[in-house]
Amino acid sequence: MTVSGDQPPVRITRATVLTPSQGPPVVLYAAESLADQELEQFTVMAFVFKSDGTLKARQVAPGRRTLTPKETKYSTLVVDGGPVDPTDIIVIGINQVQRAGSETWWRAELQRAAEAAVPLKKP
């Protein structure tokens, strides 16, 4: 069963892209529970855009497990779905959340929101 809605049970409060001298970029992020009950798991989605706003890649990664009410945990997402150029823009968000003891998932369609955050630039 899936529940979609505007009120996500988890939000990303801050994110930083770390670019090592070798290997793919890594996004360090903080995920904060907005729920009043324990969350079993959540999924993070990353979108990579070219500097002109063209979508280049999309990647889904599991987030932290077991997030207690109002808790914030830090985690990472390795952006290894394809090459990332220094001028590319990375947008991340919470894609789905499952409450503890439930088969129901909260889900969000993030691609339109990510595209709105990085509008296309006309040549």
Give the confidence band of 6 by pLDDT, cuts at 50, 70, 90.
Answer: low
3-class SS string, 89-105: EEEEEEEEEEECCCCCE
CATH number of the CATH domain containing 19: 2.60.40
Domain interval for residue 18: 2-110
Burial of 94 (0-12, 13-18, 19+ CB in 10 A): buried
Q: What is the DSSP letter of 108?
A: -
Q: How many domains does the chain have?
A: 1
Write out pLDDT tens, residues 105-115: 999 999 999 99
Query: Quick check: is 72 in a domain?
Result: yes
Write out pLDDT tens, residues 46-93: 999 999 999 999 999 887 789 999 999 999 999 998 889 999 999 999
The answer to whether the pTM exceeds 0.75 is: yes
Mean pLDDT over each residue of the chain, to the nearest integer: 90
Give, rounded to a whole angstrom, the gap between the first and last alpha carbons of the chain: 44
Query: Quick check: is 24 in a domain?
Result: yes
The token duo for 32 is: 């904060």
* In 49-110, alpha helices (H): none
